[in-house]
């Protein structure tokens, strides 16, 4: 596990207009980067309108339309002639399949998800890092009648927003956290109880205890506990998390952590043999 830093990092606030890393920063506004933001926005929701895509990708409508037309010509985007909505095209799925075949933690982690959900009866989630976000790539629902997770496969959150997402962030190298935090801070508006300063505190606490814990910050009376899956270079390649009612986590916190840690170790051993 990554040890806690000796001195805390300087708190980071959301960037202002025109600051480095913001949507208006001239250094980050190349056509390729804008096209990538469009594809990323489309990966989270199907059948989007032009207005939705422009808003989600931080581009104006004219630019979004121009790039969507170019992406459509190359097969990465398709447009429904009746609804005028856009969706990912066949070429995007080909790229996704190629990336998945090269480095996919799901087959390795799937037995762990099943065992944890069976043992604790709460939902178990597998998340992976993608830029300043975490992406839910697998879920195993528990038998407990109250579901404490609203994540579905393909859902995205800013790094740090949720236990699994926090585990991915906390075990990144400090310089990467520092570089990503302004972008993350700008995306926390959907989570009024979170801020860059609160995430800094949770990063320190997670490293100190050895696991991420986030309770009542995303949804009242609900939370999660998570551990990272570390690759050969000790960087987080995924996170295992259990989502449950807050009281179901606090009453079993150490048992949940022990089980998560054991499964994570098993997954890391398999990943090292499979990926490297």
Among 1-10, 89-98, 174-183, the least confident range:
1-10
> What is 103-275's CATH number, 3.30.160.250, 2.60.40.10, 3.30.450.40, 3.30.450.20?
3.30.450.40
Q: Which residues contact 200 (CB under 8 A, 6 or more apart)?
A: 8, 9, 11, 12
Tens digits of per-residue pLDDT, 180-227?
999 999 999 889 999 999 999 999 999 999 999 999 999 899 999 999
Among 107-121, 141-155, 158-172, 202-216, the least confident range:
141-155
Secondary structure of 55-116 in HEC code, one letter for each residue? HHHCCCHHHHHHHHHHHHHCCCEEECCCCCCEEECHHHHHHHHHHHHHCCCHHHHHHHHHHH
Q: Give the gyration radius of the chain's Cα atoms.
A: 19
CB of 125 within 8 A of CB of 139? yes
Q: What average pLDDT is seen over the chain?
A: 83
Closest alpha carbon to 50 in 74, 86, 77: 86
All CATH 1.10.10.10 domain ranges in the chain, comma separated: 26-97
| pLDDT for position 47 | 65
Closest alpha carbon to 2 in 266, 194, 272, 203: 203
CB of 257 within 8 A of CB of 211? yes
For residue 24, is pLDDT > 70?
A: no
CB of 83 within 8 A of CB of 209? no
All CATH 3.30.450.40 domain ranges in the chain, comma separated: 103-275
| pLDDT for position 38 | 86
Q: What is the largest CA-CA distance in the chain?
A: 59
For residue 23, is pLDDT > 90?
A: no
Whole-number Å distance between alpha carbons of 134 and 172: 13
Within 10 A of 235 (CB to CB), how many other CB atoms are there? Answer: 15
Task: Report the interhelical angle of 196-209 vs 163-170 (nearest 10°).
Answer: 80
Asked whether the whole model's pTM tops 0.75, one would answer no
Whole-number Å distance between alpha carbons of 193 and 38: 28
Q: Say which residue, 11 or 163, is predicted with more confidence.
A: 163
Tens digits of per-residue pLDDT, 234-260?
889 999 999 999 999 999 999 999 999
26-97: CATH number? 1.10.10.10
Q: How far is CA 195 from CA 13, 50, 173, 246, in A?
A: 8, 30, 20, 21
Whole-number Å distance between alpha carbons of 239 and 229: 5
For residue 6, is pLDDT > 50?
A: no
Tens digits of per-residue pLDDT, 73-116?
999 899 888 888 998 888 876 776 555 545 688 999 999 999 99
Whole-number Å distance between alpha carbons of 184 and 138: 23
CB of 59 within 8 A of CB of 84? no
| pLDDT for position 20 | 37
Residue 239: what are its φ and ψ, rounded to 5°? -140, 140
CB of 103 within 8 A of CB of 118? no
């Amino acid at each position: 596990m990554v040890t806690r830093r000796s001195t805390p990092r300087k708190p980071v606030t959301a960037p202002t207009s025109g600051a480095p890393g913001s949507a208006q920063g001239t250094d980050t506004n190349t056509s390729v980067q804008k096209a990538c933001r469009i594809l990323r926005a489309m990966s989270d929701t199907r059948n989007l309108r032009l207005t939705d895509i422009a808003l989600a990708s931080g581009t104006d409508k004219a630019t979004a339309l121009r790039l969507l037309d170019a992406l459509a010509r190359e097969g990465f985007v398709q447009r429904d002639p009746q609804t005028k909505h856009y969706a990912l095209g066949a070429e995007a799925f080909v790229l996704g399949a190629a990336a998945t075949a090269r480095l996919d933690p799901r087959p390795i982690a799937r037995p762990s998800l099943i065992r944890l959900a069976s043992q604790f009866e709460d939902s178990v989630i597998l998340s992976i890092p993608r830029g300043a976000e975490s992406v839910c790539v697998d879920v195993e629902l528990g038998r407990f009648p109250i579901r404490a997770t609203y994540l579905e496969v393909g859902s995205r959150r800013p790094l740090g927003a949720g236990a699994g997402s926090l585990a991915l962030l906390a075990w990144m190298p400090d310089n990467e956290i520092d570089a990503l935090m302004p972008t993350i801070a700008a995306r926390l508006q959907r989570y009024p109880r979170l801020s860059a300063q609160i995430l800094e505190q949770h990063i320190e606490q997670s490293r100190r205890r050895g696991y991420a814990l986030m309770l009542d910050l995303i949804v009242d009376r609900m939370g999660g506990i998570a551990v990272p899956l570390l690759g050969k270079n000790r960087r987080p390649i995924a996170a295992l998390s259990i989502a449950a009612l807050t009281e179901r986590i606090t009453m079993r916190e150490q048992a949940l952590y022990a089980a998560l840690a054991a499964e994570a170790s098993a997954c890391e051993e398999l990943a090292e043999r499979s990926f490297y």
